[in-house]
Structure 1
Amino acid sequence: MSDPRQIILDCDPGHDDAVAMMLALANPAIELLGITTVGGNQTLDKITRNAQSVLVMCGREDVPVHAGSARPLVRRVEIAPDIHGESGLDGVELPEPTRPPQDTHAVRFIIDTLMAAEPGTVTLVATGPLTNVALAARLEPRIVERVREVVVMGGGYHEGNWTPVAEFNIWVDPEAAHIVFDEEWPLTMVGLDLTHQALATAKVEAQVRDIDSPLGEFFIGLMDFFRKAYQEHQGFPDPPVHDACTIAYLIDPTIVQTRKVPLTVELRGEHTVGMTVADFRSPAAADCRHQVATKLDHAGFWDLVVEAIRVLSHEES
């Protein structure tokens, strides 16, 4: 077996971020070096506490949490209480964190970790707005050539959700997204075209319910709230668990099909700010450093998630 993929998870938990955390914590193919938080689904203090609470639920309080940017680079703060509730993780009772966040700011932790590691060994996974990642690249440009890959849950090459063409994470801080997409590191965009295939169906919940554990019930509570929010506000029958798709891609790339295609982020259009523009007009050049996720193996994806909950439930018992 190859060495586990070392990652930093930059997130804004968030129901789907919580599932991404579970998958990253449980699967032996991933080594989670730390969690950094960024204001997005809710305010920074709330989502940082959520990250800590999920670690408690998973029995993994050893993973460090570093709070980061509370607001976008340029724009006003925008949160998503209609989708994630007032806590950012509505639908469950959140356990009290057992340790405070680390003193080191998230951006400094990202930089220090990448500069200390062997080049090409650490992957940045970003499942919230890209403010922290952009600031890290600007504060210490040398990290760009040291990153193995940047994997972003955000955007969509044919779909939007916060506006007709912009996905929430990109729209909240499009200037940061533009910086991140424009850097020279390899970047994989796991956007709405893929994540809208990752629906938490009744069959999935039944599999988790059969585990019969507090963490399983925690997952079901999250999905129950998430389902109602998506039915009411976006017309989905079941909730798409966006962020966990990034971790599934790193664990088993056959579960998430990709295609190389140049990408950029629109900043100036009257109706298109935050749009992720993918150029499909011709085959991508051999040196294209962008790719987009296109097709999900739904059963394979949920097998990974259910097994992660089973593994963490066994460890907590």
Structure 2
Amino acid sequence: MSNKKKIILDCDPGHDDAVALILAHGNPTIDLVAITTIGGNAFLGKVTKNALGIMAKAGIKDVPIAAGCTRPLLREVEEAGDVHGETGLDGVDLPEPEVELDLRHGVDLIIDTIMGSEPGSITLVPTGPLTNIAMAVRKEPAIAERVKEVVLMGGGIHEGNWSAVAEFNIKTDPEAAQIVFDAPWEVTMVGLDVTHQALATEEISARIQNIGTPLSEFVLGLLSFFRKAYKDNQGFDHPPVHDPVAVARVIDPSIVGTVRAPISVECQGSSTLGMTVVDLRPGCTPENCHTQAAQTLDTERFWDLVIDAIQRAG
């Protein structure tokens, strides 16, 4: 029996989602059992095409992939074109897909995979808006007691990027996020407090370049576009690579330090919409608290994992 950690990656590629996919595929301790896509960084059709192209580039062949929800539960669609470009993955050329989309809706692929697996064996890793995950737990509430944990990239304790206090994935569908945080499963929020430490510096790019494979060149192309976009739009000298940090937390929880605390999502405030409110007051965390927020990142070990996965997958 395999001791690998089974994950479903729910993503909206997206440059950092691409790196997350490569990390999940290339790490020997992870069993990537399904991929689902969600409209986020770009519209659903674009991010699904991107996911298929990344799979072809990285040699991901025996993993089912299905397209999920096209829009948030209640709100209008928002894209992150300023960060990810018109295609959602500008700056690189993608090969033609080598696998076909699963005919199921992404929400049903999530439900079927969880219900068809041993209880406690599947970790959900959402790296985009949380619409698919919210819909899945509403359609089949039994998945909540069968999932090992949800490790999501989104939110933040003290930081925002889509507003002064809110992160993109949470703000674009705050109602879905609230459903996910409220569901009776373990939730780890890997937010901007730690992902803003996962910077692709020139030193990191040089290490990736030294790999010398087509896949490493692909990753360099991703980071090159991302670097300029983040410099132009958010003032970063080096781009933060958010989504693979959530995968790294599953691979080795000690890389991402967390604090257990109640987390709620602001769904009504005009200036605070999408804010993840993490209650860190002493004495306010109940013994049965099922949510935790990331606070620290071992950046050196994180990048070692990513670079090793690029080498293995390439």
User: C-alpha deviations, 1:11-55, integer Å up to 9, x for none?
Assistant: 000000000001100111110001000000001011001111111
- The residue number in structure 2 matching 1:59 is 59
Where do residues 24-103 of structure 1 align in structure 2 (5 Å cutoff)? 24-103=24-103
1:181 and 2:181 correspond: yes
- The residue number in structure 2 matching 1:302 is 303
User: C-alpha deviations, 1:142-167, integer Å up to 9, x for none?
Assistant: 11111100111000010110011110
RMSD across aligned positions (CA): 1.1
Gaps of 5+ in 2: none
User: C-alpha deviations, 1:159-189, integer Å up to 9, x for none?
Assistant: 1100111100001101101111111100000
Q: Which moved more, 1:57-66 or 1:189-198?
A: 57-66
1 CA distance for matches of 2:232 and 2:238? 11
Q: Say which SS state the counterpart of residue 66 (structure 1) adopts.
A: strand
2 CA distance for matches of 1:235 and 1:297? 23
Q: What letter corresponds to residue 13 of structure 1 in structure 2?
A: P
Once the two structures are TM-superposed, the CA of residue 2 in structure 1 deviates from its matched residue by 7.5
Once the two structures are TM-superposed, the CA of residue 99 in structure 1 deviates from its matched residue by 2.5
Where do residues 78-227 of structure 1 align in structure 2 (5 Å cutoff)? 78-227=78-227
**Cα gap change, 1:2/1:64 in structure 2, threshold over 3 Å: closer, same or farther?**
closer
- The residue number in structure 1 matching 2:236 is 236
2 CA distance for matches of 1:256 and 1:69? 29
Contact 1:44 1:67 in 2 (8 A): yes
Q: What letter corresponds to residue 289 of structure 1 in structure 2?
A: H
Once the two structures are TM-superposed, the CA of residue 119 in structure 1 deviates from its matched residue by 1.0
1 CA distance for matches of 2:68 and 2:251? 26
2 CA distance for matches of 1:97 and 1:64? 13
2 CA distance for matches of 1:126 and 1:216? 24
User: C-alpha deviations, 1:39-97, integer Å up to 9, x for none?
Assistant: 00001011001111111111112222100001001100100110001111111111111
Contact 1:177 1:265 in 2 (8 A): yes
Once the two structures are TM-superposed, the CA of residue 271 in structure 1 deviates from its matched residue by 0.7
Runs (4 or more) in structure 1 with deviation over 6 Å come to none
2 CA distance for matches of 1:123 and 1:63? 15
2 CA distance for matches of 1:307 and 1:98? 24
2 CA distance for matches of 1:51 and 1:103? 16
- The residue number in structure 2 matching 1:278 is 278
Q: Say which SS state the counterpart of residue 295 (structure 1) adopts.
A: strand
2 CA distance for matches of 1:193 and 1:99? 36
- The residue number in structure 2 matching 1:263 is 263
Query: Structure 2 length as normaliser, TM-score?
Result: 0.98
2 CA distance for matches of 1:152 and 1:235? 25
1 CA distance for matches of 2:311 and 2:141? 40
Q: What letter corresponds to residue 290 of structure 1 in structure 2?
A: T
Q: What letter corresponds to residue 298 of structure 2 in structure 1?
A: D
1 CA distance for matches of 2:175 and 2:53? 30
1 CA distance for matches of 2:32 and 2:117? 14
Q: Say which SS state the counterpart of residue 28 (structure 1) adopts.
A: coil
Gaps of 5+ in 1: none
- The residue number in structure 1 matching 2:12 is 12
Once the two structures are TM-superposed, the CA of residue 286 in structure 1 deviates from its matched residue by 2.5
Q: What letter corresponds to residue 100 of structure 1 in structure 2?
A: E
2 CA distance for matches of 1:239 and 1:205? 11
Q: What letter corresponds to residue 294 of structure 2 in structure 1?
A: A
1 CA distance for matches of 2:274 and 2:40? 15
2 CA distance for matches of 1:223 and 1:99? 25
1 CA distance for matches of 2:210 and 2:22? 17
Q: What letter corresponds to residue 60 of structure 2 in structure 1?
A: R
Query: Structure 1 length as normaliser, TM-score?
Result: 0.97
Q: Say which SS state the counterpart of residue 259 (structure 2) adopts.
A: strand
Q: Which moved more, 1:164-173 or 1:90-99?
A: 90-99
1 CA distance for matches of 2:123 and 2:289? 18
2 CA distance for matches of 1:81 and 1:160? 17
Equivalent pairs, count = 313
**What's the % identity of the aligned pairs?**
58
